[in-house]
Structure 1
Amino acid sequence: MTATTYSISDLARELDITTRTIRFYEEQGMLSPERRGLERVYSGRDKVTLKLILRGKRIGFSLAECRDLIGLYDPAGGNHRQLSTMLEKIAERRAQLDQQLLDIQQMQLELDTAEERCKAALETSS
């Protein structure tokens, strides 16, 4: 049985990203395709890794955090440690987003106050 492999253009098309994006993650040491002459040949594991990177980036993880999470995967010992760490990072990210939301709400209140003052000043100066 032959393992499924992918060309860089196959992965780019399937995951709706550019080949440059894939090469970037390769340059960062996160993907390691085989070489057949000048052609890059990606494994199923490379595809899964790329999906994990893209998911991590979508939810706001840094590239270093994505790399750490991927590095925790242990096919022999299961992925308990990886999942536990992921849950911690999700909680941290959620706390950051909650704080950003509070900061935005505070800024909106300050904008409302500034707007009211400007309108009141314009009315009294007319």
Structure 2
Amino acid sequence: MSTYTITELAREFDITARAIRFYEDQGLLSPSREGTGGRNRVYTPRDRTRLKLTLRGKRLGLPLSEIRDLVDMYETPKDTAVQMNHFLGVLARHRENLEQQREDIEMTLAEITAHEQECRRLIAAAADGKPAALD
């Protein structure tokens, strides 16, 4: 069975060793230890897969608690329908949050546009020597 060092995984996934240690602290990875005093972490293909799934979840914007739940489900592939339904639920909740954020962003952008237009109107009025009041 092939194994990986923390440096190899960090390089492969373009993340820092510190990030990998953080995911270990969060219970997402569990490397074995070798060397004097167990200083060297040894990652298995299972750890590599868990890291890959963790990073995929982070790209989706999922919190680590949900990522951990999802990754842990794949440790026991007894009923993939249950796993997929759970994942669909997580994705639906995440989609709902993102759509709310998008709505909030669109409203904020509309307000910014309105303020920009008002500022330009006031600047133009001042340049023409006309007194301008705020609308």
Deviations 1:7-48 (A, max 9, x none): 111111111111111111111222111112222111111011
How many residues were matched structurally?
124
CA–CA separation in structure 2 for the residues paired with 1:78 and 1:19:
34
Structure 2 unmatched runs, 5+: 130-135
Match of 2:47 in 1: 46
Q: Secondary structure at the match of 1:6?
A: coil
Counterpart of 1:27 (choices 25, 32, 40) is 25
TM-score (norm 1): 0.86
Could you tell me how far 1:62 is from its partner in structure 2?
A: 0.7
* Cα pair 1:72 1:79 within 8 Å, conserved: no
Q: Secondary structure at the match of 2:46?
A: helix
Report 1:58-77 matches (<5 A): 58-77=59-78
Report 1:104-123 matches (<5 A): 104-123=105-124
Q: Which residue identity does 1:23 align to in structure 2?
A: R
Deviations 1:80-101 (A, max 9, x none): 3222211111122122222222
CA RMSD of aligned residues (A): 1.7
> Which structure is larger by alpha-carbon Rg, 1 or 2?
2
* Percentage of matched positions with identical amino acids: 44
CA–CA separation in structure 1 for the residues paired with 2:103 and 2:22:
35
